[in-house]
Structure 1
Amino acid sequence: MSEIAKERGPKFRRRAEARPDEVLDAALELFIEKGFAATRVDDIAKRAGLSKGTVYLYFPSKEALLEGLVRRAILPIADSALAAIRDYEGDPRIVLSMVLRMLAGRIADPKIIATPKLIFREAMSFPDLAKMYRAEVLDRVLPAIEGLIRKGVEQGYLRQVDPSLTVRSIMGPVMLHFAMAEIFGITPEGGLHMDKLVDNHLTILFDGLSAPPSAKTWSAS
């Protein structure tokens, strides 16, 4: 193999490996700008600087592009949350604070927060997207948080609350925050301020959720 060929090989392999992300970046920009329905695969290919056939090589449909965006942006956050919750022992308020603050930090990235915004806009029109998001995110994370709440109640860290309903109370303000901005155009001055929202939410949540010290069931953990 010539020296030129040796130099070109790894470069082109790196380029090929980067193409799915280039396609997803272009798709996300256009879905936000024009909406999912109005965006054509031709538009995405042009924005990415690729042929239409190359786009289809990685993503066989526009719906597959939506799923790819969710998997790229949201699944790593879900996996991090599950890793923090799994087998945790002790005061659940500690790990809940960590998970919510991690969520706020991750979605402060404009490229990441664009995907939840897109889900809010398109999920009602594309039920398969909602099903995929439920199966790969909600059906994994929500039971883990519910189990954490149940254990916290049993050990006396938390009041006697319904774990399933409490999960909704924990996640509800974050979802409503997005909905108010994306559906109704009601956004706090200066942006979403997810970090401030989470800090405010935790203060209100824990003042109401925490059990009195006398209820704590002490253990070696």
Structure 2
Amino acid sequence: MKTAAKSRTARRRPEERPDEILSAALDVFTEKGFAAARVEDIARRAGLSKGAVYLYFDSKDAMLKALVEQSAGQIANAASALSLMGAAHDPEKACRAILKMALTALSDPDISAAPRLVMAEAGRFPELAEFYRRRVIDVGRMAIGHLVRTGTQNGQFREVSEDAAMRALMGPALAHMMLSTVFRLPDDPEFNPADMADAIADIVLNGLKPRGDAHA
């Protein structure tokens, strides 16, 4: 049985090995924390030698960066694409779509694990913080800034600080991620991330104050 298992592993490993290593790295980072994790631990979890791991990733920093690319990086890329496609047609609709996409993705603990790790370790590892800022936050900032500028130019939005708008739209995604994972309690109500995104978008885009003369 062991021989057969090794044979199957050998046949499937060459193309799947990077993903196996990253999966093992995420498990080890989550259990031990990034600082305490060792490449040896990751190799053991992946069923590889330490040398084999180094064929694909030269450090655990590279592994975490790759995990960020697979999760928050892809979300940032999708936000950028939605911004470019939606700005000319309907900036508000594009903002809502970005929020819906982000909240839905970040509701998945497997997707949010790497961003949460970076946030937890950023103070001790400024290079990782800089990478996340450049690869994720700045991409999201440019996407939202493009929508705000376009919406202002066509009269759909009033003039506001682009930086404030970025914080107002990205902040709920981070809060949602933390409340759906780290701070989630067993008796928390279930909700649809898409519905929550619509509710948040309505508050961000329209404000909390009542509208209409009846509430003046």
Per the normalisation by structure 2, the TM-score is 0.81
1:187 aligns with 2:197: no
Q: C-alpha displacement at 1:30, in angstroms? A: 1.1
| Aligned-pair CA distance for 1:186 | 3.9
What is the aligned residue count?
200
Q: Which residue of 2 aligns with 1:32?
A: 30
3-state SS of the aligned residue for 1:158?
coil
Please state if 1:85 is matched with 2:83: yes
Q: Which amino acid counterpart does residue 69 of structure 2 have in structure 1?
A: R
Aligned-partner SS, 2:149: helix
In the aligned structure 2, how far is the partner of 1:28 from the partner of 1:154? Answer: 44
8 Å CA contact 1:84, 1:95 repeated in 2:
yes
Q: Give identity over the alignment, percent.
A: 42
Two-structure CA RMSD over aligned residues (Å): 2.7
Q: Cα 1:46–1:79, aligned 2, differ >3 Å: closer, same or farther?
A: same
2:146 is equivalent to residue 147 of structure 1: yes
Tell me the residue number matched to 1:53. 51
1:97 paired to 2:88:
no
Counterparts of 2:124 and 2:131, CA distance in 1: 14
- Read off the aligned partner of 2:88 and give its amino acid letter: E
Contact 2:28 2:37 in 1 (8 A): yes
Query: Which deviates the most, 127-136 or 155-164?
Result: 155-164
Residue type matched to 2:168 in 1? S
CA contact (8 A) 1:108 1:194 kept: no
1:27 is aligned with what amino acid?
A
Q: Does 1:63 align with 2:64?
A: no
Stretches of 4+ aligned residues off by more than 6 angstroms: none
Q: TM-score, normalised by structure 1?
A: 0.79
Residues 71, 114 of structure 2: 8 Å contact kept? yes
How far has the Cα of 1:22 moved from its partner? 0.5
CA distance in 1, matches of 2:192, 2:65: 24
